[in-house]
Structure 1
């Protein structure tokens, strides 16, 4: 019943994603950026069958039943992965009823999971999808009166109105720096103390669960559901995403990761370039906004448009992220700006496709154009990192997506103001 309702709702708003059954598709005469071992292949064919990439190369045979897409020499890439944002849980940022990104109060912290709040019929999904975004990391945020640990995020695909979860939970989120200090009584030292207490309690709970259930253990700072949610973090199965901008805050996060053997990812990282060697030595990846260049806060005084280029030179893994819901699609423009400030073009593409897939543990499914991977594929009308370029075709898990959005419908409706079918108020 729920499946039928979801499909009907998705179709009702005019955003159908194409046939429910994946086709056999052959994209021919393409310049394919595989982002894998094959690199860039000219005059290539990408063959898609049963939702997966069957073959990529110059001498790929095209089956008779395949639907051909003639790329005419244009660029073909993997789909873009929004490495950090709120697609599906924020519709109108200023309207509380459509914003499910955060919780207030201290009843739940680590246990809060955005998965059940994701709306696959959000109007913002097609708006971002038609510009090449095929997967999105949906992250919780810190709300007013919230806690240091924001909760758990998920990964979704932007093509399926029902089976849209790629991974859940995908990560645990918390904050250091100015945000962490504000949520912990005013000091960075207090934020780190609270975080260490939570991790220590999670360890003690793991080692003494039976005693806890018999009420023979001390009280913990967090509730049972939060302690349960932290178990994959302390076991190294789930990454801890720590928001930190200042170099000293990043170093504090690295010490925490060492002390508790955590899978750490730094989010924000305005001053990450200053500690690039340390990040590279510990193989800690960073999620950055390549357009961040102004010191909006004291913790980001060393912001620079060369952040990505310097991290790349030092061997740090990084992915680009806007932290947005409405305009995550602008990530290609941001990546292009990073290229203009010294980052190699192929590294910029990787930062929005292959690297986020690896960071989030789905590199065996998406992020590259290689046989066996799920077919998230985009055909571009120009260089993907140029502002004027736009996708001609977007394919998610082997199904071609509609290129219609709320924006295109409004454009088409009012393009001809002499149309007699328009309401009188809109005619010339």
Structure 2
């Protein structure tokens, strides 16, 4: 058992403690309080003057499937041979030795959602990982079926229409291809009890969406693309999460009314294409004011995951309340990922994923001094603590 004592604890699920103790037993949080009983033989780490938060959650990345420093050899994020590839799964392409994963962990990001890219109208299945370094990706796995990636807007049009003169050339075609695949999967489900049923890997992936076993994760920047995603989700009665949501503030009332979450970002990027021309750093504050559930992404490697706390801090400069800035990379991100019963807050029974910061984590100068995942501290941190 480990006891972290003396730190300011930001629980993200109730009252914060200006001075408290967290007890960790095996891979779970055992107790959180001002003066919980510390069992004999417990390892005590004094973190007086530090701030303890849940491990940060990056709700949309391409970590491991677009490995840093490897060029084309490490790029496995898009299967560009066909526009509809629901049977693809990021789990089969993740390189657990990607330096980006290690840096995310060292930056206090303990959980990441890894998605395929947005070249295809339907690109494949997403996965959720813990970031603590492991040699085998299954040892990092938190959730295997985290969503089916679909994409609207410029990317599918450019990859297939502009580059190859292959469907989709237009936004109409992108929506039609997605809709057609959903209809095929619905028919596939209806035929599962037939004697001559033929299993189809891609259709079975979409069937998980129709059964509400995982959501659609819709890459959509422009407001009309966001509305197209909502329209299709309504038609098929499926769960939907908007990814990126650059113009989500323009349809915030609709998103709030439908209770559709947005994973927003990357905010610290340029207007690199036309559908980003109305990007604003005020979007987090605008979504908050309208009551839209939202989290923040890095979209790594577009912007580095390890600086997620910096992106959250910058949102406060443009009107987002400080408490909400931390929530969008902890408890609110966990809720959108469907894992708020395990991660995103500090309470008994939760996974022991936490960060000890040198100061307020939203400050540019804040430094993660201890990063714990599933109750474990890595070798280099252990060495520093011993010194």
**Which TM-score applies when normalising by structure 2?**
0.90
Supply the distance in 2 between the matched residues of 1:99 and 1:212 (Cα, whole angstroms): 41
Query: For residues 38-77 of structure 1, what are the structure 2 equivalents within 5 Å?
Result: 38-77=14-53
**Per-residue deviation, residues 293-318 of structure 1 (Å, max 9, x unmatched):** 75433323321110000001111111
Query: For residues 22-421 of structure 1, what are the structure 2 equivalents within 5 Å?
Result: 24-36=1-13, 38-92=14-68, 95-106=71-82, 109-143=85-119, 147-159=120-132, 161=134, 162=136, 163-182=139-158, 183=160, 184-210=167-193, 213=196, 224-289=200-265, 291-292=267-268, 295-325=271-301, 327-403=304-380
C-alpha deviation, 1:210, in angstroms: 4.9
Q: Aligned with 1:168: secondary structure?
A: strand
Alpha-carbon RMSD across the aligned residues, in angstroms, is 2.1
Do the aligned residues in 2 keep the contact of 1:293 with 1:304 (CA within 8 Å)?
no
Supply the distance in 2 between the matched residues of 1:196 and 1:132 (Cα, whole angstroms): 39
Supply the distance in 1 between the matched residues of 2:268 and 2:369 (Cα, whole angstroms): 29
**Per-residue deviation, residues 34-85 of structure 1 (Å, max 9, x unmatched):** 100x231111111100110011111211122221121113210000111111
Supply the distance in 2 between the matched residues of 1:301 and 1:91 (Cα, whole angstroms): 28
C-alpha deviation, 1:225, in angstroms: 1.3
**Shift in alpha-carbon separation, 1:253–1:212, aligned structure 2, 3 A:** farther
**Shift in alpha-carbon separation, 1:107–1:387, aligned structure 2, 3 A:** closer
C-alpha deviation, 1:241, in angstroms: 0.5
* Structure 1 segments unaligned to the other structure (5+ residues): 1-23, 216-222, 409-428
Q: Aligned with 1:209: secondary structure?
A: coil
C-alpha deviation, 1:91, in angstroms: 2.0
**Shift in alpha-carbon separation, 1:252–1:212, aligned structure 2, 3 A:** farther
**Per-residue deviation, residues 366-425 of structure 1 (Å, max 9, x unmatched):** 110010011001000011111111111010000012447xxx9xxxxxxxxxxxxxxxxx
Tell me which structure has the larger Cα radius of gyration: 1
Number of residue pairs matched?
371
Mean Cα displacement is larger for which, 155-164 or 39-48? 155-164
Supply the distance in 1 between the matched residues of 2:118 and 2:83 (Cα, whole angstroms): 14
C-alpha deviation, 1:29, in angstroms: 0.9
Mean Cα displacement is larger for which, 288-297 or 58-67? 288-297
Supply the distance in 2 between the matched residues of 1:39 and 1:179 (Cα, whole angstroms): 44
C-alpha deviation, 1:253, in angstroms: 1.3
Supply the distance in 2 between the matched residues of 1:399 and 1:123 (Cα, whole angstroms): 20
* Structure 2 segments unaligned to the other structure (5+ residues): 161-166
Supply the distance in 2 between the matched residues of 1:103 and 1:190 (Cα, whole angstroms): 19
**Shift in alpha-carbon separation, 1:290–1:139, aligned structure 2, 3 A:** closer
Supply the distance in 2 between the matched residues of 1:357 and 1:341 (Cα, whole angstroms): 24
Mean Cα displacement is larger for which, 205-214 or 252-261? 205-214
**Which TM-score applies when normalising by structure 1?**
0.82
**Shift in alpha-carbon separation, 1:333–1:242, aligned structure 2, 3 A:** same
Q: Which residue of 2 aligns with 1:415?
A: none
